[in-house]
Amino acid sequence: MSLVSIISFLAVIAWLAVFAVLALVVIRATRGRPMANGWMLIIATAAVAVVLNVIAAGLVFIEPSERGVVVSIAAGGVRQQALQPGLHWVIPFAETVVPYTISRQTYTMSVAPEEGAIRGDDSIDARTSDGQIVKVDASVIFAVDPTQVVGVHIEWQDRYIDGVVRPITRGIIRNAVAQFGVEEVYGSKRVEMSDQITAELGTAFEENGLMLVDFVLRNIAFSEEYAASVEQKQIAEQLAQQAKFVVEQRRQEAEQARQVAQGLADSAVIRAQGEAEARLIQAEAEAKALEMLAAAIAQNPDVLTLEYIQKLAPNIQIMLVPTNNPFLLPLPSFTP
């Protein structure tokens, strides 16, 4: 309990004591037993009660999260400097103090009935540059500028939320959305749009004695018609991607088959070339062998006889020949 509350409580007790003493004095007087110095006691008790009331009316305690605007009957009607946190004295019954919180406050505008500052759908209907309607959910975190409390009181008093925060925020959001297309609002330009709103809100709040702490772009919802068209577009894109994948798969299969066929063809060509080269080498070897054999026969005719015998020898195990015929077959004759 603060000191001001204690003094106010004591003042109430003092006034109760005044009425109690007064009642006692009256009762004693009606019974013929007047109370000695009763009226003096009533006056003293009343004086104490008045003093306590005056002290309670003059003492003001400002919380650390507040600033106090002193409204006076003097010229100007208000003190130029707000009261800082702590215990202060004002002129009793001639000056009153209006406390203003300088703590951070959050004002939310949402489509959800229970989330916003106002019950029901309080989202912001805005139209994009291409004519689509979107619903914007947003929260504004702000505070009263401690150095501008007196100005806020003079301009808005306690109406700065409904008079500044709400209308300015909704107007700036609508203006920002109108500069972007619906796909940009939802995707590529969402951050840029949020930054633009934050900058404009900061300037507007500062001009009205408020400080913007943060702007939160909570959600962007589309109309049911556009949401359905977006869904159909996504389905069409998925089908197109699937068809493209199938075409690419078939192309790869065809390319693979072509490469296999090309490989088989190249293999057949290489094999045919190899066989041709082998035949050529064999023919050259046979020709060379014949040349060498012919040269040997030319130098020694008996080589032909030896070659003839070698051709017959592997298949002959027993030979019977007449005694008067030394050879099985007649040998060819050669002229050197």
Model confidence over 178-202: pLDDT tens digits? 999 888 887 778 899 999 999 999 9
pLDDT of amino acid 294: 75
Q: Which residues are bridge partners to 67 per DSSP?
A: 100
Q: What is the mean pLDDT of the chain?
A: 82
> Looking at residue 255, what DSSP letter applies?
H
Nearest residue to 140 (alpha-carbon basis) of 198, 91, 225: 198
pLDDT of amino acid 22: 83
pLDDT of amino acid 257: 82
Query: What CATH code would you report for 105-222?
Result: 3.30.479.30
Q: How far is CA 311 from CA 293, 308, 315, 320, 332, in A?
A: 15, 5, 8, 18, 14
**Top-ranked range on mean pLDDT: pick from 19-33, 117-131, 275-289:** 117-131
First to last CA, the chain: 150
Mean pLDDT along residues 36-50: 82
Q: How far apart are CA 189 and CA 180, in angstroms?
A: 8
110-114, 119-123, 172-176, 245-249: range with lowest mean pLDDT = 245-249
pLDDT of amino acid 316: 57
11-20, 25-34, 156-165: range with lowest mean pLDDT = 25-34
**pTM of the prediction?**
0.61
Q: Is the pLDDT higher at 184 or at 213? A: 213
Enumerate the domain spans of the chain.
Answer: 3-101, 105-222
Scanning the chain, the segments in alpha helix (DSSP H) are: 3-30, 38-58, 149-155, 160, 166-177, 182-186, 190-207, 224-299, 302-312
Residue 132 near residue 226, CB atoms below 8 Å: yes
Model confidence over 221-233: pLDDT tens digits? 887 766 666 656 6
Mean pLDDT along residues 282-310: 73
Residues 6+ apart with CB under 8 A from 39: 25
pLDDT band at 336 (very low <50, low <70, confident <90, very high): very low
pLDDT of amino acid 255: 84
pLDDT band at 317 (very low <50, low <70, confident <90, very high): low
> Looking at residue 35, what DSSP letter applies?
P
Q: Is the pLDDT higher at 188 or at 177? A: 177
Give residue 11's identity as a one-letter amino acid code: A
pLDDT of amino acid 283: 79
pLDDT of amino acid 54: 87
Q: Is the pLDDT higher at 219 or at 317? A: 219
Model confidence over 87-139: pLDDT tens digits? 998 988 888 899 999 999 999 999 888 888 888 888 999 999 988 888 999 99
pLDDT band at 65 (very low <50, low <70, confident <90, very high): very high
Determine the 3-state secondary structure of 68 from DSSP: strand
Q: Report residue 255 as tokens.
A: 């390319």
Decide the pairing of beta strands 105-109 and 124-127: unpaired
pLDDT of amino acid 304: 64
